[in-house]
């Protein structure tokens, strides 16, 4: 079971009538029905001219149809190319063109934008399916025998490219990360095993499916473990609270901002959230107070942090039973078969293991720069390992700035600022300074009901940090720019400064 189609077929046999996929507005599928429906999608794709090895782009928010489309694409022997729903038409066209997609499945109007209408005609591949035409598309399945679809699925090999995910672009530049079926499923299984995810779990997938975590630690993890997939299109706190209560959600991963939003929402008290049992988050800065609040106020017994990136998905992870300090200040120990070491020269985190990416699409030079001859992926993150092998990410190499000749790692400053009761979220960057070269600037998002004074924020840091690390200016913001995984896009903040 080292291909996605094989896992779908195994889940149908193993879990059968257990709930597999929920669309509260339309219908529900058990694992047997999920297999049959995704095979119908594969048959319709074959009838539409999709051949083995073709690339099919999927530009849509989380939904049951996203799941069916993705599994149908993979079952037809094609490669899945998810596109970020926040992308403009020009950005999406770039990915469609660079991936040489032969097909495109695209949502209807979403967040006020008609995605299909925003694409230039020259970027459209031979096969285009707007999701509002889904039922008519499925009618094409009758043109292809079920046996032909089964043969197509059985012909998929573990080392075939399953997906091409374009990096989230925290530096402003995206690359197409290619992964094989075997590697994507290896990460998914490891994540589910550490979290104890199984057939009795119901997983609210808010992390976007177009992102590596949502796809592999979300959709694929559910398929391999028998958990129920409950997709949410966008993070809307009232809707999330309703789904947790009505669908008896047990597993709720997400960035720190997701939990802050739930904890601070005034409507939380009126909802029954007792089904929740597992939270998994991660970022350079996860305040211990947030871990404690998730446990005490949301009632989630197991709270874990993890570290990964598109090229590796999940490389380290805390384990159930780890204490608050380990969960808050580290990203846990190596997982999914990875080795982790720290480069002596600059403290860069290096990863090696069976689930690394195959490489960057059409970019052998970038691949060679990222993965050295010994097989180590150079992540661009700075970190350290403790005596138990727990990894702490201290910063991005490119985020470090020099103030008066001293290196400043923004994540260290951000951890101090996260201890302020009034602070919900913070980002620190270096900005030019005539005398010192660069000095820190903190961008702060306040918790509801709080109005932090910039001078008090600076004073808080001055009491806890060396002078060169203390930010010289503070800007209070309603929100910070994020990518799909919840990471702050600091390059956008730098462009403003």
Where do the domains of the chain lie?
4-173, 235-351+389-395, 400-496
How far apart, in whole angstroms, are the C-alpha atoms of residue 238 and residue 242?
6
CATH code, residues 4-173: 3.40.50.12780
160-177 residues labelled b (16+ CB within 10 A) or e (exposed): bbbbbbbbbbbeeebbbb
User: In this structure, are residues 161 and 358 in contact, taking their beta carbons and an 8 Å threshold?
Assistant: yes
User: Could you give the percent of the chain with pLDDT greater than 70?
Assistant: 98
**pLDDT greater than 80 at residue 296:** yes
How far apart, in whole angstroms, are the C-alpha atoms of residue 281 and residue 269?
22
Segment 372-379 mean pLDDT: 97
How far apart, in whole angstroms, are the C-alpha atoms of residue 331 and residue 336?
14
User: In this structure, are residues 479 and 486 in contact, taking their beta carbons and an 8 Å threshold?
Assistant: no
**pLDDT greater than 90 at residue 25:** no
pLDDT recorded at residue 233: 94
Would you give the DSSP letter of residue 227? P
**pLDDT greater than 70 at residue 284:** no
User: In this structure, are residues 232 and 243 in contact, taking their beta carbons and an 8 Å threshold?
Assistant: yes
Helix axes 181-195, 4-15, angle to 10 degrees: 40
pLDDT tens digit sequence for 44-75: 999 999 999 999 999 999 999 999 999 999 99
Q: Which CATH class is domain 235-351+389-395?
A: alpha beta
**Which tops the pLDDT comparison, 173 or 377?**
377
Antiparallel, parallel or unpaired: β 302-307 and 278-281: parallel
How far apart, in whole angstroms, are the C-alpha atoms of residue 438 and residue 471?
10
Q: Do domains 235-351+389-395 and 400-496 have the same CATH topology?
A: no
Give the Cβ contact number of residue 472 at 10 Å: 14
| pLDDT range class, residue 170, cuts 50, 70, 90 | very low
pLDDT tens digit sequence for 172-212: 467 999 999 999 999 999 999 999 999 999 999 999 999 99
User: Closest Cα partner for 221 from 254, 258, 195?
Assistant: 195
pTM of the model: 0.85
How far apart, in whole angstroms, are the C-alpha atoms of residue 188 and residue 57?
22
pLDDT recorded at residue 475: 94
| pLDDT range class, residue 277, cuts 50, 70, 90 | very high
User: In this structure, are residues 107 and 85 in contact, taking their beta carbons and an 8 Å threshold?
Assistant: yes
Give the full edge-to-edge strand order of the sheet including 228-231: 28-30, 19-22, 228-231, 202-205
Torsional class of 108: left (φ above 0), alpha (ψ -120 to 50), beta (otherwise): beta
DSSP calls for 431-496? EEETTTEEEEEEEEEEPTT----HHHHHHHHHHHS-GGGS-SEEEEES---B-TTS-B-HHHHHHH
- Residue whose structure tokens are 């702060």: 444
User: In this structure, are residues 40 and 34 in contact, taking their beta carbons and an 8 Å threshold?
Assistant: no
Residues 6+ apart with CB under 8 A from 425: 256, 257, 260, 444, 445, 480, 488
Q: Residue length, the chain?
A: 497
**pLDDT greater than 70 at residue 169:** no
pLDDT recorded at residue 386: 96
**Residue 125, SS3 per DSSP:** coil
Give the Cβ contact number of residue 492 at 10 Å: 14
User: Closest Cα partner for 429 from 384, 483, 492?
Assistant: 492
How far apart, in whole angstroms, are the C-alpha atoms of residue 60 and residue 109?
10
Please report, for residues 211, 250, 384, 481, 493, the alpha-carbon distance to residue 413 in angstroms, rounded to integers and kept in the order given.
28, 34, 17, 19, 16
pLDDT tens digit sequence for 434-474: 778 889 999 999 999 899 999 999 999 988 888 889 999 99
pLDDT recorded at residue 145: 96
pLDDT recorded at residue 415: 85
**pLDDT greater than 70 at residue 355:** yes
**pLDDT greater than 60 at residue 248:** yes
Q: 147, exposed or middle or buried, with CB in 10 Å at 0-12, 13-18, 19+?
A: exposed
According to CATH, the superfamily of the domain at 400-496 is ANL, C-terminal domain (3.30.300.30)
pLDDT recorded at residue 171: 47
pLDDT recorded at residue 315: 96
pLDDT recorded at residue 491: 84
Q: What is the chain's mean pLDDT, rounded?
A: 93
Top mean-pLDDT range of 106-115, 126-135, 418-427: 126-135
pLDDT recorded at residue 484: 63
Q: Which runs of E-coded beta strand occur in 326-373?
A: 333-334, 339-342, 348-352, 359-360
Centroid of chain to Cα 104: 22
User: In this structure, are residues 153 and 41 in contact, taking their beta carbons and an 8 Å threshold?
Assistant: no
């Amino acid at each position: 079971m080292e291909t996605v189609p094989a896992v779908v077929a195994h889940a149908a046999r193993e879990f059968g009538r257990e709930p597999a996929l929920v669309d509260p507005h339309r219908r529900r599928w058990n694992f047997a029905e999920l297999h049959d429906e995704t095979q119908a999608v594969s048959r319709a794709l074959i009838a539409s001219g999709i051949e083995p090895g073709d690339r099919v782009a999927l530009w849509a928010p989380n939904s049951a149809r996203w799941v069916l489309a993705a599994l149908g694409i993979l079952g037809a022997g094609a490669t899945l190319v998810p596109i970020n729903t926040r992308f403009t038409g020009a950005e999406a066209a770039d990915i469609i063109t660079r991936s040489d997609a032969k097909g495109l499945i695209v949502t209807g109007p979403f967040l006020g934008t008609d995605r299909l209408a925003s694409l230039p005609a020259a970027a459209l591949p031979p096969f285009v399916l707007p999701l509002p035409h889904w039922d008519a598309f499925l009618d094409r399945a009758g043109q292809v025998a079920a046996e032909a679809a089964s043969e197509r699925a059985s012909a998929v090999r573990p080392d075939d490219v399953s997906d091409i995910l374009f990096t989230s672009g925290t530096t402003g530049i995206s690359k197409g990360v290619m992964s094989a079926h075997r590697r994507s499923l290896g990460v998914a299984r490891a994540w589910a095993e550490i979290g104890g995810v199984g057939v009795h779990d119901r997983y609210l997938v808010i992390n976007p499916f177009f992102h590596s975590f949502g796809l592999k630690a979300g959709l694929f993890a559910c398929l391999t473990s028998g958990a129920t997939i409950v997709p949410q299109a966008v993070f809307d706190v009232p809707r999330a609270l309703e789904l947790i209560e009505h669908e008896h959600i047990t597993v709720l991963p997400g960035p720190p901002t997701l939990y802050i939003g739930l904890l601070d929402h005034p409507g939380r008290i009126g909802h029954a959230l007792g089904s929740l049992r597992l939270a998994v988050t991660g970022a350079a800065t996860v305040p211990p107070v947030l871990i404690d609040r998730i446990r005490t106020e949301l009632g989630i017994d197991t709270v874990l942090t993890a570290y990964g990136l598109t090229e590796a998905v999940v490389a380290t992870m805390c384990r159930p039973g780890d204490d608050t300090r380990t969960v808050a200040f580290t990203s846990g120990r190596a997982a999914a078969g990875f080795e982790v070491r720290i480069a002596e020269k600059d403290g860069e985190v290096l990863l090696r293991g069976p689930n690394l990416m195959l490489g960057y699409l059409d970019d052998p030079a970038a691949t060679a720069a990222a993965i050295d001859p010994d097989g180590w992926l150079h992540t661009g993150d700075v970190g350290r390992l403790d005596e138990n092998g727990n990894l702490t990410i201290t910063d991005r190499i490119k985020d470090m700035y020099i103030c008066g000749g001293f290196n400043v790692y923004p994540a260290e400053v951000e951890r101090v600022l996260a201890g302020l009761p009034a602070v919900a979220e913070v980002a620190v960057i270096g900005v030019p300074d005539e005398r010192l070269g660069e000095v820190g600037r903190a961008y702060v998002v306040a918790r509801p009901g709080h109005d932090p004074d910039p001078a008090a924020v600076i004073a808080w840091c001055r009491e806890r940090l060396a002078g060169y690390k203390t930010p010289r200016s503070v800007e209070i913001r309603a929100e910070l720019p994020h990518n799909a995984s919840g990471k702050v896009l600091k390059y956008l903040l730098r462009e403003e400064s």
